[in-house]
Structure 1
Amino acid sequence: MELGSIVEFLENRSILVTGATGFLAKIFIEKILREQPKVKKLYLLLRAADTNSAILRFNTEAIAKDLFRVLKEKNGGNLSTLVTEKVRVVAGDITCDYLGVKDSLLFDEMLEQLDVVVNLAANTNFDERYDVSLGINTVGAKNVLNFSKKCDKLKVLIHVSTAYVSGEKEGLILESPLKMGETLNGTSGLDVDFEKKLVNDTLKKLKADNCSDDFIKSSMKDLGIQRARTFGWPNTYVFTKAMGEMLLGQLKDKIAVVIIRPSIVTSTYKQPFSGWAEGVRTIDSIAVGYGKGRLTCFLGDPKTVIDAVPADMVVNAMIAAIVAHANDDQGNITVYHVGSSVSNPFELGWLQDYGHRYFSKNPWINKEGRPVIVGKIKILNSMDAFHTYLAIHYLLPLKGLQLVNMACCQYFQGIYVDLCRKIKYVMRLVELYRPYLFFKGYYDDMNLEKLRRAVRESGVERDFYFDPKIIDWDDYFMNTHIPGAVKYVFK
């Protein structure tokens, strides 16, 4: 694999980015504008009713964020000129035909101009409504591919998926494309068209029965989990992302497709500055709960390898992959695992130590202005042990409080409500993340190592780094990730 200058390749290129206000998408956009302000045009697809709404959303959910402060400083404190010249915000929706773009002239312009399509639009909720996840993660991937096929001079389609399309596989998991109809438990009969019909038929029946919106929402969430587990996936998110990958492999024709599968994406390692984060992600859910005193125990094997990767490394890998595969005219599909479990693994038990050390020195200040004192979180290695701990430390006190006359004692009522919240919070986290807390898989990254080698040989590694071996996890979590999560994520 040979790689020329990444910055030179990006000059005068036109790139479409879907899901343009998402976490990774914003970092990607900022990186392109900072490294190559001579890019021809960034077309940014956002879900919005019209162009003005899309522009407003982009300005408030992207440009206004602290993430863009380095780029602003580089441009004399003003981004408006650069954004006006280089960015075209597009109102659309990948769940619709033609990506929901209503402006026919703009649509034709994109077909004529685009060199690269980057699909970052996704719904990442583990237990989202099945109709919503299927529409964005599965049907949306197909719609982006169909659009890409129409582009006159497209060089490559980058589709960002997730490493966890592997479900709960054990051992070394290869960078292999998923085949249409492939399941994780050997159950036959997985058919995307049937899943779409099932969703539509179920919705029609629920509406015909005059079910409430809340009941329909709950039913669609349950359907997603049920269908995912039927074929061996633990949740709706990874199941619908897997089906999206299958459609790309089946329908790509001669389009060069690169599937990026990041593992758990964490705060930025170095660029545009260290520690930027947004939204409560997998391991941040634990950090937030622990730091705020809502989490004193958790389920998992302390020796379980947690596969994580800083967000800027994912974006750098994406950009390097664009350049590496831009001249592929054979219509190949290439998969890259972007993670750390093989190259630089760390264990769940380390998170326990990092959290305790950090929040003991830097306690969270609660609404009453008092520091939250944390103890060392208890990691329990079985459901039986977890339920026993829960019964002793939560349920028995709760039972005792029920015997107190709540109406007469506001103090005990407050304790009762707080215990109920803690139990609900812990149980939700365990339900969502249990498959990953005993995970015994390791993500092979030989394809990515070839790309890393090409980047090193091209001499641009300093700016487009994505080798997890350079990470000192202790330093990263104590001085970058947890402080970043506290600053940008804790509310």
Structure 2
Amino acid sequence: MAARLDGQHVLLTGVTGFVGEALLHLLLTEVPGARLTVLVRPKGSTTAQARTEALLRKPIFADVQEAASRVEVLSGDLSDVPALPTDLDAVVHCAGDVSFDPPVDEGFRTNVVGTRDLLDRIRETGSDPHYVHISTAYVAGRRRGVIPEAPVDHDVDLEAELAWGLAQRTAIEHRSRTSYVLESERRKAEKTHSRAGLLTAAAATEAARKEWVKAELVRVGTERARSLGWTDCYTFTKALGERVVERYAEQHRVSIVRPSIIESALVTPYPGWIEGFKMAEPLILAYGRGELPEFPASADTVIDIVPVDHVVAAIVAVLASPPEPGSPAYFHVSSGGRNPLTFRRLYDDVRSYFDEHPFAGGDRGAARLPEWRFAGAQAVERLLVTSERAHKVADYVVGHAPRSDRARDLARKLDQQGRRLEFLRRYLDLYNEYAQAELHFSDARTLALFESLSPEDRERFAFDTAVVDWDHYLKDVHCPAVTAPVRRMDEARRARKRAADPTLKPVAEGSGAVAAFFDMDGTLLSSNVIETYLWLRLREQHGGERVAELGRMVARLPGLVRAERRERSAFLRSVYREYAGARLADLEAIADAHLTDHVLSRLSPEAVRRIREHRNAGHRTVLITGAIAPLTRPLAPLFDHIEAAQLAVDHRGVCTGFLATSPLVGESRAAWMRGYAAEHGIDLAASYGYADSHSDLPLLEAVGKPVAVRPDVPLFRHARRNRWTIVDWASSTSSSRTLNPAGDRS
């Protein structure tokens, strides 16, 4: 075959993808006489030339660096195909959207429009290169039985579907802005984020709208595909792409290669070579971690897998055997017809591999492997629905539970379970069609092509899938290859955790000032505004007055809790209304004389240590709190600045029950921090923030180094999603609480 391709000028698309990269490697290795031009799109500021050079520096190209000099780069994209060289002998089109569930417009734009535009450019060259189109065996859709190497029989109106698909983004973007969608998303966002602020809720609403658009583009594409007999948008658009190619083939030389499920290499460039995760890898990894309890396949259903080196070897053989113009040739590169792999055998081999080479399961040892019973799709769906309902109920309960270590631990476990359920729902919905497929891909033409090769070429370009030993491939080649990077990442994560250095670095000379912003209640102190109010007020009262005041506050407590959950500022104003009639000077005197011991008994030693570390590093320490100023007086030595609520007083110095200014809560804290940073030359991106409540989300988002301290469940979840630091600063061991915060004074 190398002789037949010697001196030919071949254009390749998609060489930065899995199949394209393997094909480029094979051509450079085994077809040294071919001239190669690769169509590569620039990516951001990286040019096509730079991307190609980076590709050719990969380890698999180490032995062909001299041959790599034959590769010429053509900068361009399928969305804007450039003019092609006029002396092309062949074109191999590997590029395309290979996601099973792309947004519908993207699927059409890449798999249909991109193919059409490329063919138009080929026509412009005035030559007649052999066009090799890489499709998928699953363009057969939801058919059953034997699938011949021939055109797919359907009467879909290509132009009508193309126009519809390309118009969907605009249509769905418009729908996403209707009151029906926005009201629903806004209500959910405000319910979750109103304590942080309405702008935070607005940002969450807009993010949810965009996610809705993305999900809807996927959903409508899937539904349209299935309504016409295809499994998903991917196979639907690939089938329509073939229709575009078949029109071109009426007057030109065309071959269409249809691989089934492409997985890691059997031999070349080395056993187990794979780039990224394909179809089976997420399922294999989830099973190995004990997170895939069942799969909706029948035990005897065939899963049609083919190693990538067999695919690219077949492509080269097809490339060297052009058909006559007007007679397109179809080739299935598949295994199910002559060397079937059943789901039962796949399961047994994967389980056997993880039995011998388990993933670490943390402190509990090896991950426990689920036992599949192949109960059928309906049974799996019932199990999943039941689990989703139970998770929803548990999630509601934990989300409304009082703050505690147990609540956070339950939230963490529920989040893990939720991610697992989301994974199962997505992949079971996505792969259910493939798991239930009863397809038998005929590969008679492909086998005949292989048998027509010389013995030497059969060895150099092996693509007879009947020789694959599935037990060896799965246990000794594929599973080790796909788990190796995950094991390395797990070990690196453990190493980072062991080597974590909590020491703060001093501010570098010439850089902006760094600040550390601290919340008070719940972060530095295990106290709250109601408790500290009682401390101050009950100091002025005796005997029966105290009992009456305690009873009154207990009666108000449910309403205060509801107010705090709705809006933090309203809650603070309601509590501070109770200070009406108190003399501010008396409150300050009580704070100086008696509050220090109370504060120190509630102050976390780890918090004090952290504040001092910041000061030693040259950072400005700032306390920002909604508590009233007298309550912060014992903490003054720790901070460079304290921003607290100021009680309004009349001309006699008596508190009116109102505040001098609005309390700093939620988004107002972030606004104050930005102003303070501008005034003092502070670099917020290099600064730290410490807080414990979801209402403090704007404070934490305003800095570059947020830290959640013993967070409530909503903040705990947000911090985990965004990989923020989470710390557990315990209260002082000397702290204790009584029903009378004023002590035993009589």
Q: Does 1:8 align with 2:3?
A: yes
Contact 2:10 2:91 in 1 (8 A): yes
CA distance in 2 between partners of 1:388 and 1:230 (Å): 24
CA distance in 1 between partners of 2:3 and 2:427 (Å): 45
**After superposition, what is the alpha-carbon deviation per residue over 1:374-393, rounded to whole angstroms, capped at 9, x for unaligned?**
32442443333114433676
Q: Larger radius of gyration, structure 1 or 2?
A: 2
**Which segment is superposed worse, 313-322 or 388-397?**
388-397
CA distance in 2 between partners of 1:241 and 1:392 (Å): 36
SS in 2 for 1:305: coil
Which amino acid is the alignment partner of residue 89 of structure 1? V
Contact 2:289 2:369 in 1 (8 A): no
Give the structure 1 partner of residue 518 of structure 2: none
- The one of 152, 176, 198 equivalent to 1:178 is 152
Which amino acid is the alignment partner of residue 375 of structure 1? L
Contact 1:290 1:377 in 2 (8 A): no
Shift of 1:398: 6.7
Q: Does 1:390 align with 2:359?
A: no
Q: Does 1:19 align with 2:14?
A: yes
Which amino acid is the alignment partner of residue 407 of structure 1? R
Give the structure 2 partner of residue 478 of structure 1: 475
Give the structure 2 partner of residue 354 of structure 1: 349
Query: RMSD across aligned C-alpha pairs, in angstroms?
Result: 2.5
- The one of 278, 281, 284 equivalent to 2:278 is 281
Give the structure 2 partner of residue 243 of structure 1: 240
Q: Does 1:86 align with 2:70?
A: yes
SS in 2 for 1:136: helix
Change (3 A) 1:250 1:308: same
Shift of 1:483: 0.8
Q: Does 1:305 align with 2:302?
A: yes
Change (3 A) 1:477 1:406: farther
Give the structure 2 partner of residue 65 of structure 1: 58
Which amino acid is the alignment partner of residue 56 of structure 2? I
Change (3 A) 1:430 1:52: closer
**Which segment is superposed worse, 357-366 or 476-485?**
357-366
**Which segment is superposed worse, 395-404 or 332-341?**
395-404
SS in 1 for 2:99: coil
Change (3 A) 1:165 1:381: farther
SS in 2 for 1:461: helix
Give the structure 2 partner of residue 442 of structure 1: 440
Change (3 A) 1:249 1:422: same
- The one of 208, 216, 219 equivalent to 1:219 is 216
- The one of 135, 144, 165 equivalent to 1:199 is 165
Contact 2:300 2:343 in 1 (8 A): yes
SS in 2 for 1:442: strand
SS in 2 for 1:374: coil
Change (3 A) 1:200 1:7: closer
Contact 2:101 2:232 in 1 (8 A): yes
SS in 2 for 1:306: coil
Shift of 1:458: 5.7
**Which segment is superposed worse, 85-94 or 442-451?**
85-94
Give the structure 2 partner of residue 186 of structure 1: none
**After superposition, what is the alpha-carbon deviation per residue over 1:431-490, rounded to whole angstroms, capped at 9, x for unaligned?**
0000111211100111112101112x4641111010111111001100011111113577
Could you tell me the TM-score, scaled by structure 1's length?
0.85
1:69-468 superposed matches below 5 A: 71-72=61-62, 74-75=63-64, 79=65, 81-83=66-68, 85-96=69-80, 99=81, 101=82, 107=83, 110-111=85-86, 113-178=87-152, 182=154, 190-207=156-173, 211=177, 213-325=210-322, 328-365=323-360, 372-390=366-384, 396=390, 399=393, 403=397, 405=401, 407-408=403-404, 409=406, 410-455=408-453, 457=454, 459-468=456-465
CA distance in 1 between partners of 2:252 and 2:161 (Å): 26
Change (3 A) 1:195 1:387: closer
Give the structure 2 partner of residue 104 of structure 1: none
CA distance in 2 between partners of 1:26 and 1:298 (Å): 32
CA distance in 2 between partners of 1:489 and 1:265 (Å): 20
Contact 1:290 1:374 in 2 (8 A): no
CA distance in 2 between partners of 1:275 and 1:201 (Å): 41
CA distance in 2 between partners of 1:120 and 1:10 (Å): 18
Shift of 1:151: 3.6
SS in 1 for 2:433: helix
Contact 1:279 1:489 in 2 (8 A): no
SS in 2 for 1:331: coil
**After superposition, what is the alpha-carbon deviation per residue over 1:414-440, rounded to whole angstroms, capped at 9, x for unaligned?**
211111111111111110000111211
Shift of 1:351: 1.6
Which amino acid is the alignment partner of residue 434 of structure 1? N
CA distance in 1 between partners of 2:314 and 2:472 (Å): 23
Contact 1:276 1:488 in 2 (8 A): no
Contact 2:287 2:369 in 1 (8 A): no
**Which segment is superposed worse, 375-384 or 400-409?**
400-409
Shift of 1:128: 0.7
CA distance in 2 between partners of 1:272 and 1:351 (Å): 24
Which amino acid is the alignment partner of residue 448 of structure 1? T
SS in 2 for 1:407: coil
CA distance in 1 between partners of 2:434 and 2:127 (Å): 41
SS in 2 for 1:159: strand
CA distance in 1 between partners of 2:356 and 2:315 (Å): 37
CA distance in 2 between partners of 1:215 and 1:400 (Å): 25
CA distance in 2 between partners of 1:13 and 1:239 (Å): 33
Contact 1:131 1:199 in 2 (8 A): yes
**Which segment is superposed worse, 478-487 or 216-225?**
216-225
Q: Which structure carries more relative contact order (alpha carbon 8 Å, separation 6+)?
A: 1
Q: Does 1:48 align with 2:42?
A: yes
Shift of 1:329: 4.0
Could you tell me the TM-score, scaled by structure 2's length?
0.57
CA distance in 2 between partners of 1:419 and 1:51 (Å): 40
CA distance in 2 between partners of 1:47 and 1:123 (Å): 14
Q: Structure 1 stretches of 5 or more lacking a match?
A: 1-5, 102-106, 184-189
Give the structure 2 partner of residue 187 of structure 1: none
Shift of 1:194: 1.4
Contact 1:54 1:89 in 2 (8 A): yes
Contact 2:137 2:441 in 1 (8 A): yes
Which amino acid is the alignment partner of residue 8 of structure 2? R
Contact 1:298 1:426 in 2 (8 A): no
Q: Structure 2 stretches of 5 or more lacking a match?
A: 178-208, 490-746
Contact 1:337 1:443 in 2 (8 A): yes
Give the structure 1 partner of residue 601 of structure 2: none
Give the structure 1 partner of residue 645 of structure 2: none
